[in-house]
Structure 1
């Protein structure tokens, strides 16, 4: 099972967003945002909700996301 951080990173990459953009939207440094993606910090529900909102999905969809089911354009 993928960690939440990996799911967030994959969703960010699919939407072609940068860590810097995400961090700015969340009101944190890029360094701290990177720690979320690497699973180095515990993520609060409110931050998880903000991230899901940025992706245009709900928290349940974010948590159940499986990048193995994504087809990439070549």
Structure 2
């Protein structure tokens, strides 16, 4: 692949964010003027962001996502189901960690009881020798 096609693919991928922002903004009935005021820029500058989103910075993306009530990853095309699955995986992992910790605590308690029992047996053996 040559350098020009790589750049065009990158530009297309980035431009999709601006298109997605515009679509969500319009679906929610939010004006360019309102988002521009949230970003402390003019409406014409905001319009350029939607058309050429290579100008979008991370802080601006975070503000736009907050105003549109979506995640930044959603603006990049991550579906809600992927985000939910990730959240569910994190919950499952937390549950697994908790289960392992509890199993370890139970194992430690069992080992302590066995040690106490063996100490008692040893003490009896030693006292019966005397």
Compute the TM-score of the two structures, normalised by the length of structure 2. 0.46
- Separation (CA, whole Å) in 2 of partners of 1:24 and 1:65: 27
What's the C-alpha RMSD, in Å, of the aligned pairs?
2.0
Q: Which runs of 5+ in 2 are unaligned?
A: 1-12, 80-130
Which of the two has higher C-alpha Rg?
2
Moved segments of 4+, more than 6 Å = none
Whether 1:6 aligns to 2:19 is yes
Higher helix share goes to which structure? 2
Q: Which runs of 5+ in 1 are unaligned?
A: 67-74
Count of residue pairs the alignment pairs up? 66
Specify which structure has the bigger relative contact order, considering alpha-carbon pairs within 8 angstroms and separated by 6 or more residues.
1
Q: Of residues 3, 7, 31 in structure 2, which corresponds to 1:18? A: 31
8 Å CA contact retained: 2:17, 2:53: no
Whether 1:32 aligns to 2:34 is no
Compute the TM-score of the two structures, normalised by the length of structure 1. 0.78
